[in-house]
Amino acid sequence: MKSQKSAQTLSFLHRGAPVALRNVPPDRTLLQVLRDDLNLKATKEGCGEGDCGACTVVLAEAVNGQLEYKAINSCIRLAHSVNGMAVWTADDIAAPSIASTGSSGLHPCQEALVQNHGSQCGFCTPGFVMSLFGMYQNNPGGQGITRESAQADLSGNLCRCTGYRPILEAAVTMGGVPLPAECVVDEPATVQALKSIKGKAPSIEGDANYLRPTSLHALLQARALHPKAQLVAGCTDVGLWVTKHHRKFEQVIDVTAARELRRVETYPNHIAIGAAVSLTQAFTALVKERPQLLSFSRRFAGLPVRNSGTLGGNVANGSPIGDSMPLLIALGASVVLMRWRTSGQGGEAVHRELRLEDLYTGYRTNVMRPDELLAWIKVPRPVGGALEKVYKISKRFDDDISAVCLAIQMTIQDGMVQQVSIGAGGVAATPVRARQTEAALLGQPWNADTVMAAQAALRSEFQPISDMRASANYRQTVLGNLLQRFWLESQGTTAINLESLNSVEALA
């Protein structure tokens, strides 16, 4: 369907120079712009769903006068979302050959891959190069990168040829490779250039087809005026509608520029995570208060997906296999929904708050009005003495979607279960709270008999489906097994899950 709205100009920095592309449709991806419009063929299309990492590029924004770098998947990133940013691809980071000095002109992340034989067929290599480039920029000069941190940051890039040992070796050794002067990013000049391309945002009352308001006030008004527009945040799921379902959007409203929603606020009893906060930033805030969530946070997709995706988008999307919701349900999180209400005085922002598990009404459906959006996620701060654990079961350890996810928060006093909340994913049409199982545990002695009864309750509470990830019987069995694992860990048992194994050492 041809858009009835006016296609806008897309402006960003590439190789330090401004690029302006006119009439870019709202549903055109960044990968399409790079490969088809700018003829930058080094950026590859592999899976088209943000899974393989071949399309990885690096974005930078100026934050408080400094550049913040993020490796992202260009295949599912809408092009207009990078308006006003700097973009680097695998075409951009090497210098021209310097014959007089014998230098290859390669960036250290590229040269380290060459020296460590980290490429065979080469299709995935541009994506690895860009993830390495992002690591290099975020760890000045490539210093301080460990095997463990490299493995975590490269989890969103898949390679079918080499195995990962030589690529990890490139990551940890690139800091010792000389950086050609022509490869240095002039950050002050880039920050200044970004200021020069910051154009005026299109009027929310006009017929612009991609709206990215910079304030919550303007965002709520835009939603009120255009309730049928497609809302996007990180677009890591809506992007699949474009690449896999070939959906077309006449108009898009992007929440990620609203400055009020780009921050995490800390209060005495909770933290409030704005809907525009990336998954990377959101998990950083959660892990700061709950260090035991670090492993789970790294298993939530790969880093490029976490850098683009938002916690608010994940929650609002409501996928039954979205990993954040079971955790947030168990932690007692709530959501704040907001809309713009017109009145005789011009209008006002109104809000309502509800528990996260009460947001959903069915498969990818919720209670939000057409003119309403999810603005904040409020997560209670940890309570001393509470046991908190989240388990993710998937076919692949890294960069995979859950077959089952189970999160548990429990307080035990004098050997009795004083408080318990349990969130589950992959077992129903929505992320759910296991209320029957909670009832079987609450007020009971925390012992093997109670756990056995609760296992039976948990396995019978939901009727999961069989699909490509797991059978219904497997999911029900695993649910009970995970509760048993939680019991064993509460008794001090260790080395009973993959997280207890040092996979980095296994690759040595």
CB burial of 156-180 (b: ≥16 within 10 Å; e: otherwise) equals bbbbeebebebbbbbbbbbbebebb
Q: Where does residue 58 rank: exposed (0-12), middle (13-18), buried (19+ CB within 10 A)?
A: buried
Distance between CA atoms of residues 364 and 377, nearest Å: 18
Q: Are residues 442 and 506 located together in one domain of the fold?
A: yes
**pLDDT tens-digit map of 56-68:** 999 999 998 899 9
Q: Are residues 243 and 375 located together in one domain of the fold?
A: yes
Query: Residue 348: phi, psi to the nearest 5?
Result: -155, 155
pLDDT of residue 230: 95
Q: Is residue 101 scored above 80 in pLDDT?
A: no
Average pLDDT, the chain: 92
Last residue of a domain, one of 199, 228, 244: 199
Q: What is the CATH number of the domain that holds 255?
A: 3.30.465.10
Last residue of a domain, one of 149, 175, 199: 199
Residue type, 239: G
| Residue 452 in tokens | 């056995």
Q: What is the CATH number of the domain that holds 491?
A: 3.30.390.50
pLDDT of residue 496: 78
Q: Is residue 505 scored above 60 in pLDDT?
A: no
DSSP 381: P
- The whole-model pTM stands at 0.92
Q: Is residue 3 scored above 90 in pLDDT?
A: no
Q: Are residues 368 and 400 located together in one domain of the fold?
A: no
| Residue 329 in tokens | 């349900």
Q: Are residues 70 and 53 located together in one domain of the fold?
A: yes
CA torsion angle for 185, 235, 314, 375 (degrees, to 10)?
90
CB 304, CB 156: distance < 8 Å: yes
CB 219, CB 373: distance < 8 Å: yes
Residue type, 156: G
Last residue of a domain, one of 336, 351, 382: 382
| Residue 84 in tokens | 């006003």
pLDDT of residue 346: 81
Residue 401: CB atoms within 10 A of its CB come to 18
Secondary structure of residue 212 in the 3-state scheme: coil
Q: Is residue 5 scored above 70 in pLDDT?
A: no
pLDDT of residue 501: 61
Helix ranges (H only) for 290-392 are 294-299, 303-308, 311-317, 324-330
Measured N-to-C along each axis, helices 448-461 and 472-490 cross at an angle, to the nearest 10 degrees, of: 150
- Give the closest residue to 373 by CA, choosing from 204, 254, 501: 254
**pLDDT tens-digit map of 350-401:** 999 999 999 999 999 999 999 999 999 999 999 888 999 999 999 888 888 8
Q: Are residues 304 and 431 located together in one domain of the fold?
A: no
Domain residues for the domain of 247 are 201-382
Distance between CA atoms of residues 184 and 144, nearest Å: 19
Q: Is residue 344 scored above 90 in pLDDT?
A: no
Q: Are residues 183 and 211 located together in one domain of the fold?
A: no
pLDDT of residue 198: 77
Q: Where does residue 64 rank: exposed (0-12), middle (13-18), buried (19+ CB within 10 A)?
A: exposed
Choose the weakest-confidence range: 174-183, 337-346, 428-437. 337-346
| Residue 416 in tokens | 């009795």
Q: Are residues 142 and 57 located together in one domain of the fold?
A: yes
Distance between CA atoms of residues 430 and 425, nearest Å: 7
Higher per-residue pLDDT: 163 or 51 = 51
**pLDDT tens-digit map of 208-264:** 899 999 999 999 999 999 999 999 998 888 888 999 999 999 999 999 999 999 999
Q: What is the CATH number of the domain that holds 131?
A: 3.10.20.30
Q: Are residues 71 and 115 located together in one domain of the fold?
A: yes
Secondary structure of residue 473 in the 3-state scheme: helix
Distance between CA atoms of residues 28 and 51, nearest Å: 19
Q: Are residues 373 and 408 located together in one domain of the fold?
A: no
Q: Are residues 76 and 220 located together in one domain of the fold?
A: no
Distances (CA, A) of 93 to 110, 182, 437: 9, 9, 54
> How big is the chain by its Cα radius of gyration, in Å?
24
pLDDT of residue 207: 77
Q: Are residues 290 and 407 located together in one domain of the fold?
A: no
**How many domains does one find in the chain?**
3
Q: Are residues 97 and 31 located together in one domain of the fold?
A: yes
Encode 46-96 in three state secondary structure: CCCCCCCCCCEEEEEEEECCEEEEEEEEHHHCEHHHHCCCEEECCCCCCCC
pLDDT of residue 35: 96
